[in-house]
């Protein structure tokens, strides 16, 4: 291995160096993300209207467009110590395999039982729920990372946890369910007959394999019809991006420690939790004109909200019980083709990232599933870590950028978010090995049909 003497393979921060506050990128945005609207009145939602759904402190964070830093309570910093800091890794072996002059780094968030960065927000949300004296929380999960993370957080803080899991994932990932059970959570495949909205969706789409949008509807109904419960969400929301800023803050501190500045920052994008967290302090510098970075969102070609969606107000869920958010969306009825293996299956996108993309602060690209798994396998073999399908979207884009550097001879520094591990995704890897994976991409007609259901907002 050809190693730069000054750059270790991994940088771990010490406990003293860990961030004590989350960074709220909204404070530095000139064009703030559009407010959530009440689906009934079409008016911006007030805090009071959100209290039946979310914990009070989380509502405050959701609506806070002004404070650049929000202190991380000591209790959350304590549990962050269980799985943080996450390492910033220099991908020396990948660089060597590619023969690129580029310098590739990744921030690896998979070294915890949930297998991903999701735990960063789960711990925070469970803490606030407990602090408010709640009995439990409900949520949805797609690939299962968020559900696992929330189960862990609820076990830690002593809360009941009810997870609606997208049916196709529930069936493909039986062991995810057992992990959640180990942490005391109950898991229901969605759509289910447990909720009114689930029954309605099943009646309208018999045989559906489910979607995040459906599962959200069910989880919200379950939370709002139970005493002492609230709903929590693992992506999309402003509060989630706030909590996930810990990823970018740690990465930036680690880079500063070794005197490196990335040129390109790449993250996979489903609802935006990882990407928003990873880029936040860098985006802050860019917004304040202090530095420039190329920032690239990578999404699946089978669920291309940035690259083929519309920037408009839409429902956050399939059952249309949630507030309206202005975001890049494929329409709340959009469900990725059943062959789509990993997460990143949400029809919309974080309003923060949507606004930043709309304003030209970041780029977006989409990649095909089999290319993603090829990149995943290449990465696994040289860097050791078997990546989650989601994270592998970022790997694919990082490899492409590094190969471009090889052509041009540029020594660019690339940072990508390795959000998690694929240990519970071996069903998808098996399909890939057996050549049974397809790259179905929605047609223009399909997208137009699903976008036709966008609500009219004045």
List 179, 214, 353, 405, residue binding its own copies (CB under 8 A): 179
- Nearer Cβ to its own copies, position 220 or 388? 388
Contact 234, 122 (CB under 8 A): yes
Touching its own copies, residues 234-263 (CB under 8 A): none
DSSP 345-410: --SS--HHHHHHHHTTS-EEEEE-HHHHHHHHHHHHHHHS--B-HHHHHHHHHHHHHHHHHHHHT-
Binding of residue 73 to its own copies (CB under 8 A)? no
- Nearer Cβ to its own copies, position 15 or 359? 15
Binding of residue 383 to its own copies (CB under 8 A)? yes
Gyration radius (Cα) of the chain, Å: 20
In the bound complex, what is the minimum distance in angstroms from residue 9's beta carbon to its own copies? 4
Binding of residue 32 to its own copies (CB under 8 A)? no
Binding of residue 160 to its own copies (CB under 8 A)? no
Q: Which long-range contacts (CB under 8 A, 24 or more apart) does 56-60 make?
A: 56/128, 56/132, 57/128, 57/131, 57/132, 58/125, 58/128, 58/232, 58/239
If we measure between CA atoms, which residue out of 419, 375, 158, 405 comes closest to residue 279?
A: 419
If we measure between CA atoms, which residue out of 425, 420, 384, 424 comes closest to residue 108?
A: 420
Segments of 65-124 assigned E as strands: 69-71, 88-90, 103-108
Q: What is the DSSP letter of 105?
A: E
Binding of residue 116 to its own copies (CB under 8 A)? no
- Nearer Cβ to its own copies, position 162 or 347? 162
DSSP 210-255: --HHHHHHHHHHHHHTSTTEEE--SSSSHHHHHHHHHHHHHHHHHH
List 155, 202, 258, 368, residue binding its own copies (CB under 8 A): 155
**442 vs 303: CA distance, rounded Å:** 8
Residues 6+ apart with CB under 8 A from 112: 82, 83, 119, 152
**161 vs 148: CA distance, rounded Å:** 10
Binding of residue 312 to its own copies (CB under 8 A)? no
Stretch that binds its own copies, among 188-196, 243-251, 336-344, 426-434 (CB under 8 A): 426-434
Binding of residue 374 to its own copies (CB under 8 A)? no
Binding of residue 4 to its own copies (CB under 8 A)? no
List 106, 127, 128, 156, residue binding its own copies (CB under 8 A): 156
Binding of residue 324 to its own copies (CB under 8 A)? no
Binding of residue 104 to its own copies (CB under 8 A)? no
In the bound complex, what is the minimum distance in angstroms from residue 440's beta carbon to its own copies? 22
Q: How many angstroms from the chain centroid is the CA of residue 335?
A: 17
List 17, 78, 359, 436, residue binding its own copies (CB under 8 A): 78
Binding of residue 219 to its own copies (CB under 8 A)? no
Contacts with its own copies by CB under 8 A: the residue count is 46
In the bound complex, what is the minimum distance in angstroms from residue 182's beta carbon to its own copies? 6
CB neighbours of residue 27 within 10 Å: 16
Binding of residue 171 to its own copies (CB under 8 A)? no
- Nearer Cβ to its own copies, position 156 or 313? 156
In the bound complex, what is the minimum distance in angstroms from residue 175's beta carbon to its own copies? 4
**206 vs 191: CA distance, rounded Å:** 10
Q: Are strands 324-329 and 310-315 parallel, antiparallel or unpaired?
A: antiparallel
Binding of residue 12 to its own copies (CB under 8 A)? yes
In the bound complex, what is the minimum distance in angstroms from residue 152's beta carbon to its own copies? 6
Touching its own copies, residues 427-456 (CB under 8 A): 427, 429-430, 433
Sign of CA dihedral 300, 266, 423, 243: negative
Segments of 9-53 assigned E as strands: 10-11, 21-23
List 60, 426, 441, 449, residue binding its own copies (CB under 8 A): 426
Q: How many angstroms from the chain centroid is the CA of residue 286?
A: 22
List 316, 324, 385, 399, residue binding its own copies (CB under 8 A): 385
Touching its own copies, residues 335-364 (CB under 8 A): none
Two structure tokens written together for 65: 């467009």
List 39, 44, 68, 184, residue binding its own copies (CB under 8 A): 184
In the bound complex, what is the minimum distance in angstroms from residue 224's beta carbon to its own copies? 28
In the bound complex, what is the minimum distance in angstroms from residue 247's beta carbon to its own copies? 17
List 421, 442, 447, 454, residue binding its own copies (CB under 8 A): 421
Where along the sequence are the contacts to its own copies (CB under 8 A)? 1, 3, 8-10, 12, 14-15, 75, 78-79, 81-83, 93, 111-113, 115, 152, 155-156, 174-175, 178-179, 181-184, 377, 380-386, 421, 423-424, 426-427, 429-430, 433
């Amino acid at each position: 291995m050809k190693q730069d003497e000054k750059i270790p393979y991994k940088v771990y921060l010490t406990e003293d160096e860990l961030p004590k506050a989350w960074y709220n990128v909204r404070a530095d945005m000139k064009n703030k993300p559009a407010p959530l609207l009440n689906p009934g009145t079409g008016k911006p939602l007030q805090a009071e209207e959100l209290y039946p759904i979310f914990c009070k402190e989380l509502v405050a964070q959701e609506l806070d467009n002004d404070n650049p830093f929000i202190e991380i309570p000591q209790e959350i910093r304590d549990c962050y110590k269980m799985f943080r800091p996450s390492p910033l890794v220099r991908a020396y072996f990948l660089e060597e395999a590619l023969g690129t002059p580029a310098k590739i780094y990744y921030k690896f968030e998979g070294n915890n039982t949930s297998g991903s960065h999701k735990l960063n927000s789960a711990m925070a949300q469970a803490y606030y729920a407990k602090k408010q004296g709640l009995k439990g929380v409900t949520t949805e999960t797609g690939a299962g990372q968020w559900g696992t993370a929330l189960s862990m957080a609820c076990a830690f803080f002593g809360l009941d946890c009810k997870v609606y899991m997208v049916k196709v994932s529930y069936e493909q990932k039986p062991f995810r369910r057992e992990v959640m059970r180990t942490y005391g959570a109950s898991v229901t495949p969605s759509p289910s007959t447990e909720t009114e909205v689930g029954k309605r969706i099943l009646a309208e789409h018999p045989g559906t394999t489910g979607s995040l949008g459906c599962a959200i509807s069910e989880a919200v109904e379950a939370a709002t019809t139970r005493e002492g419960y609230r709903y929590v969400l693992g992506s999309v929301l402003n509060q989630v991006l706030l909590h996930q800023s810990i990823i970018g803050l740690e990465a930036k501190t680690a880079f500063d420690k070794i005197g490196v500045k990335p040129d390109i920052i790449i993250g996979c994008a489903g609802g935006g939790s990882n990407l928003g967290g990873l880029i936040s302090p860098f985006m802050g510098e860019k917004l304040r004109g202090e530095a420039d970075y190329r920032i690239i969102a990578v999404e699946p070609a089978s669920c291309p909200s940035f690259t083929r969606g519309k920037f408009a107000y839409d429902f956050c869920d399939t059952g249309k019980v949630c507030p309206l958010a202005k975001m890049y969306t494929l329409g709340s009825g959009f469900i990725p083709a059943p062959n789509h293996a990993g997460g990143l299956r949400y029809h919309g996108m974080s309003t923060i990232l949507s606004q930043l993309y709309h304003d030209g602060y970041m780029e977006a690209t989409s990649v095909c599933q089999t290319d993603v798994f090829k990149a995943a396998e290449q990465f696994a073999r040289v860097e050791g870590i078997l990546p989650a399908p989601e994270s592998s979207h970022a790997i694919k884009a990082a490899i492409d950028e590094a190969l471009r550097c090889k052509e041009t001879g540029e020594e660019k520094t690339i940072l990508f978010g390795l959000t998690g591990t694929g240990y519970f995704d071996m069903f998808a890897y098996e399909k890939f090995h057996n050549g049974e994976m397809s790259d179905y991409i929605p047609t223009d007609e399909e997208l137009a049909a699903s976008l036709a259901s966008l609500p009219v907002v004045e």
